[in-house]
Structure 1
């Protein structure tokens, strides 16, 4: 009996291997190069390693297997694409906007918000939310950017002349506050310290769990995941974040109920793209709910999505940019000279017009996002076969884009590890492929908040370099990266803040 059972198991395993390997999709995927897999399980065990090692391994695979290669295991298939032409074939198409794994692991938290939804639902949400990021809306919020930047400078003032300051915690509190006051239209009743303690730890927990699941095949399905101890930890984190989101929404509802109708729901004469230009993102959502175009669940999905994406990515970008300027003293001096040309000796707050004059600072921001893209990894699930460079990538395959590595292509960015802002001068960008540089993704699903982010980055950095000199503590060569929802390092990033003298 035992022998019969063993023979049956072996037969099933062999049949599964034959099916996965020699089916239509299996034959096509094996025409691509890629790391050698084992019987039936393919490359599944190649990713059962530490997050830091996964980050390095993906780069090593690209160096060995070139600009297009595959991973496989059981019925899972993934293709990595690196050439700009390959990237454009996927990201520029309205037929390839679906997001599969690992975005599916975000559903318990973000639901089907703008980041994770697909098809008609995504199109509806994108159209609904686009007016919330119109220039006139951003202009209205600019004073908040300036006020929060000044508060951040006071925080840095307390750090001045300390041996070192850890950047990310201070920056993330500031960017979270900006998101609350601008897109969410709320000034939280609790102090930001209490609020961030309720928010950051659960977000960190969920991020860690998602990467943990990516490296463990048996946790891919929700059915199996629900029986794991990790699922219980996730439930506690989700409860905290749900409470946070509820507080944000309820606070804004209460504020609107206390306003005159013309203020709470906008002025019909103030119109942008058919939407009232006065509405912040959460206001817009609540207004759409009143009209029956979105429900409570939909509002929660978008608030969760934008609270996370809107603050974490910007805080990460600021962190690496400040570190880079601290390590590049000549470049830091050039940015400060640009600030002097705009502001002179004045300590006035910047204006929208001032931001448009910060050409070299903008180059620095773009170069920092090249080296350290906040969203370092993008993927799409193919809903139909795709032909690339003579290969047919079958439907159901996940197309991965390692943005971190794509941005370090020496054929496009010579001396790719070096911080060179001049790469982004207009004359240098003129002939560069538009899909060679994708810090905000590209195509139909590009980042809806990229103008918001650029305005915030310019406001903070221009304020910073008018008041402080930055000295390097953490060096770029010391950074050890690991995969997360945004680009992370294994150890904190530090700089030293030194107050500028008036004659500096």
Structure 2
């Protein structure tokens, strides 16, 4: 059956090539790029293991100064990694639409903020923007600090180990944080076991999605759904979608009974959602918007799923890499610790929003980590109008533009000695002279990451809590890292650090 389906698809592709695609494909040949086969172009070049795909992308970028092209039937693809071209694309609302690669996320996120476009995207952005206002972030800081405190306690069990894999430790912490701040639910307190299943499903879905992205023939739903991965994805999505539904309904009933107020500087925590002490969650804003007819039940589910996707794995990997770099750069680590002592003294009190604002050098360290290891290493857009990039005319139509943040951040002309961990790059004076689109770990333009301030707070909270209690000693070194193509920047092997009590 699969052979018959494949044969029919191949015949259709060849016919469409001669009728519609041949002239468009020729327009791409003037752009430098790897050789490809007639009709199907570079389809086979992107097939392979995730490690091979990641290496090939880096190899092609090193071979071509600013831009290269591929033809992956029936789409033309341009890859860019210089700030001038990137500004042209992501600063222009004409190119706001995410490319077809994101369609692989649609069974999970449906039409949430990441994937929606046009008026729907504008409305969702308007609803959700208040969730990241200073007054609300101030309330979330207490949740982040509590989760950081639990992380520090958990690390006591790691003191007798010669090495500790920090990826699962960071992932568990950030998943707990985003679940509590977005839905108001503590996964570790879920006695039904659904929280544990949900955590596992979140981790598995990313692997299934990247498996599909790396195999162009699985873009067809009919084919993908026949594979074991397609069947497994359906099972995993049932778990992912069902867990928030129960929490959303519980939260809806609470809001119905006690009401909802947006926090101000005058409000105590008890006043946020009524007379019963219960912390506000991002979900409350969605439920409030539902009352005003701005969003429906399906829309709430979409945005909660989007929060969970965008808000935990990316931050977890960012934390993983900064702990590794601080362990390998003891002088930098000592400088961060000195800054923390100036803020906290010998006190063990939790940090506040004001404390986070004083962590200037730690912020430079986080930014330098996100330069070297951007958690989202590339983004992709449709080219919906003819545009000139690096002197080449890029035709509109079935044209994708892949923006490689990983390669942008490692350009020697932008960052001398680009592989060296140097937080001084992000002092105020050094940042001022840099192209505004030379550093985009949270994307840029109208569709920049809505949660970037939240992510920075979370990383400051976790790193400062860990460093106040423990010294980080090196195990995994940066040159040992092997990256794999994935939804986020992920390594093929554990990232190890050794923890040692400071006092």
What is the TM-score when the length of structure 1 is the normalising length? 0.91
Deviations 1:391-425 (A, max 9, x none): 22122311101211111001101111111100101
Residues 70 and 277 of structure 1, relative CA distance in 2, 3 Å threshold? farther
CA contact (8 A) 2:378 2:402 kept: yes
Partner of 1:39, secondary structure, is coil
Deviations 1:269-324 (A, max 9, x none): 9999xxx9876320011111122211111011000010121111111111111111
Q: Distance in 2 between matches of 1:101 and 1:11?
A: 23
CA contact (8 A) 1:137 1:277 kept: no
CA contact (8 A) 1:144 1:178 kept: yes
CA contact (8 A) 2:180 2:281 kept: no
Residues 196 and 370 of structure 1, relative CA distance in 2, 3 Å threshold? farther
Q: Does 1:404 align with 2:406?
A: yes
CA contact (8 A) 1:412 1:436 kept: yes
Question: Residue in 2 aligned with 1:332?
Answer: 333
Deviations 1:435-460 (A, max 9, x none): 11110000000000000011111111
**Alpha-carbon offset, residue 95 of structure 1:** 0.9
Question: Residue in 1 aligned with 2:449?
Answer: 447
Q: Does 1:464 align with 2:459?
A: no
Q: Does 1:320 align with 2:321?
A: yes
Partner of 1:459, secondary structure, is helix
Q: Distance in 2 between matches of 1:227 and 1:10?
A: 18
CA contact (8 A) 2:425 2:431 kept: yes
Question: Residue in 1 aligned with 2:3?
Answer: none
Question: Residue in 2 aligned with 1:143?
Answer: 142
Question: Residue in 2 aligned with 1:428?
Answer: 430
Residues 268 and 416 of structure 1, relative CA distance in 2, 3 Å threshold? closer
Residues 193 and 216 of structure 1, relative CA distance in 2, 3 Å threshold? same
Q: Distance in 1 between matches of 2:92 and 2:211?
A: 31
**Alpha-carbon offset, residue 124 of structure 1:** 1.1
Partner of 1:69, secondary structure, is strand
Question: Residue in 2 aligned with 1:266?
Answer: 261
Which residues of 2 match residues 32-51 of structure 1 at below 5 A?
32-51=31-50
Which residues of 2 match residues 176-215 of structure 1 at below 5 A?
176-188=175-187, 190-191=189-190, 194=193, 197-215=196-214
What is the TM-score when the length of structure 2 is the normalising length? 0.91
Question: Residue in 2 aligned with 1:86?
Answer: 85
Q: Distance in 1 between matches of 2:90 and 2:372?
A: 21
Q: Distance in 1 between matches of 2:252 and 2:169?
A: 29
CA contact (8 A) 2:135 2:264 kept: no
Question: Residue in 1 aligned with 2:4?
Answer: none
Residues 63 and 9 of structure 1, relative CA distance in 2, 3 Å threshold? closer
Q: Distance in 1 between matches of 2:379 and 2:299?
A: 24
Q: Distance in 2 between matches of 1:271 and 1:229?
A: 55
Q: Distance in 2 between matches of 1:45 and 1:20?
A: 21
Which residues of 2 match residues 365-380 of structure 1 at below 5 A?
365-380=366-381
Q: Does 1:280 align with 2:275?
A: no
Q: Distance in 2 between matches of 1:229 and 1:268?
A: 47
Deviates more, 1:187-196 or 1:392-401: 187-196
Partner of 2:347, secondary structure, is coil
Which residues of 2 match residues 45-444 of structure 1 at below 5 A?
45-188=44-187, 190-191=189-190, 194=193, 197-257=196-256, 259-260=257-258, 264-266=259-261, 280-395=281-396, 396-444=398-446
Q: Distance in 2 between matches of 1:10 and 1:380?
A: 27
Partner of 1:218, secondary structure, is helix
CA contact (8 A) 2:410 2:418 kept: yes
Deviations 1:107-135 (A, max 9, x none): 10000101111111111111111011111
Partner of 2:37, secondary structure, is coil
CA contact (8 A) 1:188 1:248 kept: no
Please, what is the CA RMSD of the aligned residues? 2.4
Q: Distance in 2 between matches of 1:385 and 1:102?
A: 20
Residues 14 and 467 of structure 1, relative CA distance in 2, 3 Å threshold? closer
Partner of 1:346, secondary structure, is coil
Residues 271 and 302 of structure 1, relative CA distance in 2, 3 Å threshold? farther
Gaps of 5+ in 1: 1-7
**Alpha-carbon offset, residue 488 of structure 1:** 0.7
Deviations 1:12-32 (A, max 9, x none): 877654456642x32322221
Partner of 1:126, secondary structure, is helix
CA contact (8 A) 1:137 1:280 kept: no
Question: Residue in 2 aligned with 1:5?
Answer: none
Residues 196 and 163 of structure 1, relative CA distance in 2, 3 Å threshold? farther
**Alpha-carbon offset, residue 41 of structure 1:** 1.0
Question: Residue in 1 aligned with 2:479?
Answer: 477
**Alpha-carbon offset, residue 389 of structure 1:** 3.3
